[in-house]
């Protein structure tokens, strides 16, 4: 059985790291690279950050509050549609990054005041079944990690295609973990 206090402490530490990591990865990125997509159907660094910003308040944060406050249902969300409907690629990169950081600080304040036993409460989801606060908190940390990996892969792929001179970059395929050569 999962210890709610331990999971909460671990999740708070993990969630606190992401804004610093994003600042280090993206702080000096030029505006064109922020908006560049490695492929037409993939997200740019800016779209990833805007997604994280909106998920912070409207998905994980909102759903965890429903659970710990004893609510009965989650509000429907459509994060994939948000990217186009909210024009993520047109956002100001620094504003989006700062807004994510501010929302994450609010999350950490909320989590610091949360009684760990409240995480055992659950709400029924129509597709996923019972979701406890423990489930949501663990999924939130995993979501951060998945998008951090996506962002690192995006930056690696964009970096491999920069410059006019053809070159070969050797390393691990960021999506599959296998060695490969990227020709540009």
CA distance 64 to 76: 14
Lowest mean pLDDT among 55-59, 130-134, 160-164: 160-164
Tokens 């951090």, located at residue: 148
109: part of which helix (H) or strand (E)? helix 93-112
Q: What is the pTM of this model?
A: 0.86
First to last CA, the chain: 50
The count of other CB atoms within 10 Å of the CB of residue 74 is 18
How many domains does the chain divide into?
1
150: domain CATH number? Answer: 1.20.120.450
Which structure tokens are listed for 156? 């690696």
**Model confidence over 14-68: pLDDT tens digits?**
999 999 999 999 989 999 999 999 999 999 999 999 999 999 999 999 999 999 9
The count of other CB atoms within 10 Å of the CB of residue 146 is 11
Give me the phi and psi of 121, to 5 degrees please: -65, 155
**pLDDT at residue number 182:** 41
18: part of which helix (H) or strand (E)? helix 4-26
Range of the domain at 126: 4-183
**Model confidence over 70-100: pLDDT tens digits?**
998 899 899 989 999 999 999 999 999 999 9
CA distance 67 to 72: 8
């Amino acid at each position: 059985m999962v210890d709610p206090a331990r999971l909460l402490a671990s999740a708070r530490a993990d969630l606190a790291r992401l804004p610093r990591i994003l600042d280090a990865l993206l702080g000096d990125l030029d505006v064109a690279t922020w908006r560049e997509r490695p492929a037409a159907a993939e997200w740019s660094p800016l779209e990833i950050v805007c997604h994280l910003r909106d998920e912070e308040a409207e998905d994980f944060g909102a759903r965890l509050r429903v659970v710990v406050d004893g609510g009965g249902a989650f509000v429907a969300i459509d994060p994939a549609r948000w990217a186009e409907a909210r024009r993520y690629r047109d956002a100001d990169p620094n504003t989006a990054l700062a807004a994510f950081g501010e929302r994450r600080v609010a999350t950490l304040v909320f989590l610091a005041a949360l009684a760990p036993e409240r995480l055992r409460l659950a709400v029924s989801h129509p597709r996923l079944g019972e979701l406890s606060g423990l489930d949501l908190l663990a999924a939130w940390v995993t979501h951060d990690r998945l998008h951090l990996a996506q962002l690192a892969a995006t930056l690696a792929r964009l970096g491999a295609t920069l410059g006019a001179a053809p070159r070969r970059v050797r390393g691990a395929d960021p999506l599959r973990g296998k060695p490969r050569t990227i020709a540009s």
